[in-house]
């Protein structure tokens, strides 16, 4: 019994760590249904479109319990998700050439537009993103985005 007790703190740490770390994924199909429970027979709550970021709360083999930018929790088929990282722009915003508002502005981005996350490492409060519209790569304020911790 003593040997098992030595592993108990490590097991507890691993369990807590897995809950503390939030994993984000994006929708990889044109339209995916969010379900109330992990089954096709349950009520479909919402439809999300390709590129939409979701925070994974629980992972099962064929289903993921996810949270959206409004805090709503639902289930989605694992096959409808990709590990490709995207973020959701929460307000009208701009993409800049460098991580600074004095840098040249490359584009304006409307609210609720998804952007591909090129690097999850923040430079101050800036993230490097890519917009398919206009084929633009640049920096945007991380505090105005959802899909990154």
DSSP for 90-130 reads -SSEEEESSSSTTSPEEEEE-TT-EEEEEEEEEETTEEEEE
User: Tens digits of per-residue pLDDT, 89-147?
Assistant: 999 999 999 999 999 999 999 999 999 999 999 999 999 999 998 899 999 999 999 99
Given a cut of 60, is residue 3 above it in pLDDT?
Answer: no
Query: Cα separation of 52 and 115, whole Å?
Result: 9
CATH match for 86-146 among 2.40.30.10, 2.30.30.40, 1.10.3720.10, 2.60.40.10: 2.30.30.40
Domain boundaries, the chain: 2-82, 86-146
Query: Cα separation of 95 and 116, whole Å?
Result: 12
Closest Cα partner for 38 from 19, 63, 2? 63
User: Tens digits of per-residue pLDDT, 8-21?
Assistant: 444 444 444 344 44
Going by the DSSP 8-state scheme, the letter that residue 79 receives in this structure is G
Domain 2-82 architecture = Roll (2.30)
């Amino acid at each position: 019994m003593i040997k098992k007790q030595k592993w108990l703190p490590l097991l507890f740490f691993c369990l807590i760590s897995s809950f503390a770390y939030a994993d984000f994924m994006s929708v990889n199909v044109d339209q995916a249904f969010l379900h109330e429970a992990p089954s096709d027979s349950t009520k479909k709550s919402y439809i999300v479109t390709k590129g939409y970021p979701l925070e994974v709360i629980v992972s099962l083999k064929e289903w993921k319990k996810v949270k959206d930018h409004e805090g709503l929790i639902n289930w989605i088929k694992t096959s409808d998700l990709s590990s490709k990282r995207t973020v959701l722009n929460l307000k009208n915003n701009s993409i800049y050439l460098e991580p600074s508002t004095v840098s040249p502005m490359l584009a304006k981005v409307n609210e609720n537009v998804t952007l591909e996350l090129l690097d999850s490492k923040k430079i101050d409060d800036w993230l490097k993103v890519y917009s398919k519209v206009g084929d633009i790569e640049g920096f945007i304020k991380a505090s105005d985005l959802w899909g990154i911790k």
